[in-house]
Structure 1
Amino acid sequence: MAAALSCCALSADVVFDGFDAQGEAVGRPHPSPHIQLAAVSQDQTDNTMSLVLAMLREGPAADAIPGLDVGLTRVRTRTGRLEPVTASAPSREGQRLTDAILDEPHLWVTSNGGIRLAATLRRNLGKMGGRSLETTNAWTPGEESVAEQTAAYADKIAEGSAVDVGLMRYHPQAHVKNLGDPTELRAGLADLYADAPWVDVDRVMAEVYDLGTHPADARRFYLNQVVTAEDGLVAPVDWDACRIDERLAEGDRIVLGFDGSIREDATVLIACRISDRLFVPLGIWERPDGPAGDGWEVDREAVDEAVHTAFTRYEVLAFFADVEHWESYIDGWTRTYRERLLVKASVREPIAWDMRGRLQQSTLANERLVAAVADGKVRHTGDPRLRRQVLNARRRPNRYGVSFGKDRRGSKNKVDAWAGCLLADMARHELEASGRARPVDRKVVVFR
């Protein structure tokens, strides 16, 4: 497909040119097309270039494209050209580029020049109103490849936290919870490859079950899934399996978890419904990317209003909030709502929970929640912001077990939503253990 689109960009009617009398869109060729097939090595550019050369040599292209000159390593027409480029080539800043194919961008990282090459291509395309296409396998989380960064950008557009610049993402996956179940695996593969009848599903299954195939590789290369990083806390397939199409209803009995920051990290307010462990973000405030993030601080009044709205709309029975940076607000919430809370965050504090000084309790609670996700014992609504931050969390072993943290110190990949879920889940656990979570059956007896 990438090869065919490259041939079209060279001479076909690909530039919008208004509408005809019937209202149908019409196009025209670009007056001076310049197409680049980009990769981080010459061998990878051959993946697409070899097909381009075959298409132009073996079909009627010579009769249809004026001045077509198909060489060994490039294609020219009277007004345009098509060529492969690699990250090892000299800087191409300022070229009048109209189209680019970025092949295997899951391999484009800083160390091999891929990040710089992608940035240069996009700048050149932007000046010409050009278009790019990324053709990739599933990336490895944490490598910060071009493909991973593009997917993160698409996620933020879907969340509404980034400007939609016309990015289209097409990422079909085989949804298979248990690779060891041949029936489930076959059904997932048959659905994934339904439009590729040349793929032998039996052969793919044989490769998946080959003892030399790591399960993570099987999911990446055969199921097209983005698998957990080696130190990832929660597997994407486990989290996605817990999604339900349901929302909180007014008056639902819930607990709250709060993790706050001021500038760098995110601030989150997470609700957990007591009856079925449904996690719902009532607010996630993050520093915007780009220039909009300069000098940004969380809107503390908006956060405060979200807490009061939660107590108005739902029956809140417990509320655990990490105290760092938010002591004065937590004191205010405590004064207002302490009488409505059935369990306390600590012996002295109804709401305040200091995660810095209670490592053992938070570690055990973290292990309990991770196991619940893997066993399908929790629920969520599919919120993309919550999903992103949950999957950002990494395993951090300590003397008590496995806690969580960022992928590295100072990382922009936030994990605060997982912290909010953890605090809410601890509140729910304490409430259940206290026996106070059961609704009171009030009976009135009348004597005459």
Structure 2
Amino acid sequence: MAWKPEFPGEWPTLGWTMLDWYTDMLAQPDCADYQPLVLTDEQAKFVLDYYRLDPRTGRRVVRRGVLSRSKGWGKSPIVGAIGAGEGLGPVVFDGWDANGRPVGRPWNTVRTPRVQFAALNEDQTKNAFEPMLEMLREGPVMDYYDIDPMETFVALPKGRIEFITAAALSKEGEKPVFAALDQTEGWVRSNGGKNLASVIRRNAGKIGGSTLETPNSYRPGTGSVSEETFAYAQAIEEGRASTGGLLVDHREAPASTDMSDDESLYQGLLVAYGDSARENGGWVDLRRIMDEIRDPATDPQDARQYYLNQVTHASDSWVSKPEIMAAVDLNKHPAPGDVITLGFDGSRGRNKGKADATALVGMRVRDKHLFTIGVWEPREGDPQDWTPNIAEVDAVVRETKEKFNVVGFYADPSGWTGQIAEWEALFASTLKVKASRDAPISAWPRGKDTRVADHVEMLRLALVSGEMTWDGSSALMRHMLNARRRALRRGGYLLYKQFPDSPDKIDAAYAGIMAYKACLDFISSGKSAKPVNGPRRRRKAVLA
């Protein structure tokens, strides 16, 4: 048999089978009397996605999952259910039935299952392990399976469910069919978390097992396991890395959520908590959460991280994600002929083969809307000595000139002096504002100084005050969030990477700063420029 969808677009999953298994076998935790475990719609959707199958081979699509939700949303019960199901339930593909629907069988028909709940310390492992024990002890599963749910592990008919901590470095070489990694926003190198995550993933990968992270939102710059996972997901989204079976389910309050306004905060929490909120049939009292947020002892950044589930910022970040996301306008689309300015920041490479990015960013003058034209940076599998394709970059610059009415174009000439000289010749007669009298495009030829610092801060203020908008492109957002402030002796600050050889790029942020500076210079010059109707055409000479 083969997979037979019941409606167009349907994909196969063992998730439906597992949802039934949870209800039939497990008890709802933290209840006075027995109730069968029934997941919310959002939790159920995650299970369906997590157990998705390839319709051609029946192979499980997801090898690595991330479930990121607000504190109290219900991550621990669902992880406990998945862990119990991986140890006992039919989670291994076993063909298609007579109707072309997927059939599963337990891991113990293939190998001895080992399920692990991992955390930084023993107390943290209780978040998901203890609810799982209650689900087993109070559920019908005790009547159907020969299991012994003890305090430190669960003995299965074949195999075991256990918890491990960052101190358990001897776990290298084990073979977990499933591992839950809890609160990975706090797993860093110094506490052994990064090493533990690497060991678990290697062990699971050897036998075709899967892992599941359950973090709250991370703080940029900490170098946590969660931060690196989200960076990997973004690389996949931008096409810089292969898909690799990663499932990310993350929900946060809208960036426009104002914690000082009761109604705005309430609506933001309603989005973040979804169907776990009482208003949506769940259990979370949002008004009680609001009281916690209002408590003077609650750090506002903690409130955003744990309750709104928003990615905030490091202490030296240039901007925070909520700030810049509030300025995103997806309804604005620069059209051919629009009057724009350009900013360019390029790189031909760095020491030790770690190449920076090259970026071209535009700003529409009439409404100060920043948009990404091109970002060139190394992709997964590129050689260490990667450099951007100069001909491709040049072609995009020339196409942009033909498409729009470019009235200002500022560029950092570092590494691109010759190319920028060619662009200066190309643009010189049409630019309304110039970087200098002798260099129409080449801005900051002697390096960045306090004058540059002024415009770095001006763009930040324009973003957070709503004076401008931007297109929300993932590459530009990533570069802006990667940027770190470093103070100058004479006042102000410039933007740098977290450390010199960091793989995190910031070049598009500087390109945006230059496009914004050119826009302000054009506006303050008092010059005018009309949109052109479509691509510019060269005038033909008329012979007398």
- Say whether residues 1:251 and 2:334 are aligned partners: no
Query: Where does residue 224 of structure 1 map in the other structure?
Result: 309
1:440 Cα deviation after fit: 8.9
Alpha-carbon spacing, 1:397–1:139, altered in 2? closer, same or farther (3 Å): same
Equivalent position of 1:155 in the other structure: 234
Deviations 1:223-266 (A, max 9, x none): 11111111111121121111112322112211110000012211
> For residue 261 of structure 1, what is the aligned residue in structure 2?
347
What's the CA shift for 1:358?
5.0
Q: Distance in 2 between matches of 1:279 and 1:154?
A: 24
Structure 2 residue aligned with 1:332: 422
Cross-structure match for 2:462: 372
Match of 2:450 in 1: 360
Opposite residue 228 of structure 2, the aligned amino acid is Q
Answer whether contact 2:95 2:104 (CA < 8 A) is retained.
Answer: yes
SS of the residue 2:341 aligns to: strand
Distance 1:216 1:108 in 2: 19
Tell me, yes or no, if the aligned pair for 1:238 and 1:376 is still in contact at 8 Å.
no
* Conserved? CA contact 1:324–1:354, under 8 Å: no
Q: CA deviation at 1:194?
A: 3.4
**Cα distance per residue 1:182-233 (max 9 Å; x no partner):** 1111111123223112211111111111112221111111111111111111
Is 1:214 the equivalent of 2:304?
no
Task: Identify the match of residue 10 of structure 1 among 67, 78, 87.
Answer: 87
- 1:437 Cα deviation after fit: 3.6
Bigger Cα displacement from structure 2, 171-180 vs 6-15: 171-180
Q: CA deviation at 1:103?
A: 0.7
Deviation per residue, 1:159-199 (Å, 9 max, x gap): 12111012111111112432111111111112322311221
Shift of 1:355: 5.7
Q: Return the letter of the residue paired with 2:89.
A: A
Query: What amino acid sits opposite 1:47 in the alignment?
Result: N
Q: Following TM superposition, by how much is the alpha carbon of 1:356 offset from its aligned partner in structure 2, in angstroms?
A: 4.3
Matches of 2:131 and 2:144, distance apart in 1: 18
Aligned residue number for residue 397 of structure 1: 487
Q: Distance in 2 between matches of 1:298 and 1:306?
A: 12
What amino acid does structure 2 have at the position aligned with 1:232? S
Q: How does 1:266-285 map to 2 (within 5 A)?
A: 266-285=357-376
- Coordinate RMSD, CA, aligned: 1.6
Matched, 1:303 2:393: yes
Greater mean alpha carbon deviation, residues 17-26 or residues 7-16: 17-26
- Map of 1:53 onto structure 2: 133
**For residue 148 of structure 1, what is the amino acid of its counterpart?**
E
Partners of 2:449 and 2:126 in 1: CA distance: 53
Match of 1:410, SS? Answer: coil
Matched, 1:96 2:175: yes
User: What letter matches 1:103 in structure 2?
Assistant: D
Which of 163, 178, 190 is the equivalent residue of 2:270? Answer: 190
Q: Does 1:22 align with 2:99?
A: yes
Q: Which one-letter code corresponds to 2:83 in the other structure? A: S
- Aligned with 1:40 (options 87, 107, 120): 120
State the TM-score, normalizing by the size of structure 2: 0.78
Superposition pairs for residues 168-183 of structure 1, below 5 Å?
Answer: 168-175=247-254, 176-183=256-263
1:341 deviation in Å? 0.8
Counterpart of 1:255, as a letter, is T
Hey, what does 1:445 align to over in structure 2?
none
Q: Secondary structure at the match of 2:333?
A: coil
SS at match of 2:201: helix
CA spacing shift, 1:78–1:54, aligned 2, 3 Å: same
Identical aligned residues as a percent: 39
Q: Show the 5 A alignment for 1:287-298.
A: 287-289=378-380, 291-298=381-388
37 and 400 in structure 1: CA distance in 2 versus 1, 3 angstrom threshold: same
Query: Structure 1 stretch 310-319 or stretch 169-178: which is displaced more?
Result: 169-178
SS in 2 for 1:195: helix
**Residues 283-307 of structure 1 deviation map (CA, whole Å, 9 limit, x = unaligned):** 1111224x43422121111111111
Query: What SS does the aligned partner of 2:243 have?
Result: coil
Deviates more, 1:413-422 or 1:10-19: 10-19
Structure 1 portions without partners, runs of 5+ = 442-448
| Partner deviation per Cα, 1:389-426 (whole Å, 9 max, x = no partner) | 11111222222323322222322211111100001111
Distance 1:114 1:407 in 2: 20
1:106 CA displacement: 1.0
Q: Secondary structure at the match of 1:133?
A: strand
1:131-150 to structure 2, matched below 5 A, reads 131-150=210-229
Aligned residues: 439
Aligned equivalents of 1:378 and 1:371: distance in 2? Answer: 9
Amino acid at match of 1:314: F
| In 2, Cα distance between equivalents of 1:130 and 1:3 | 17
1:319 is aligned to 2:409 = yes
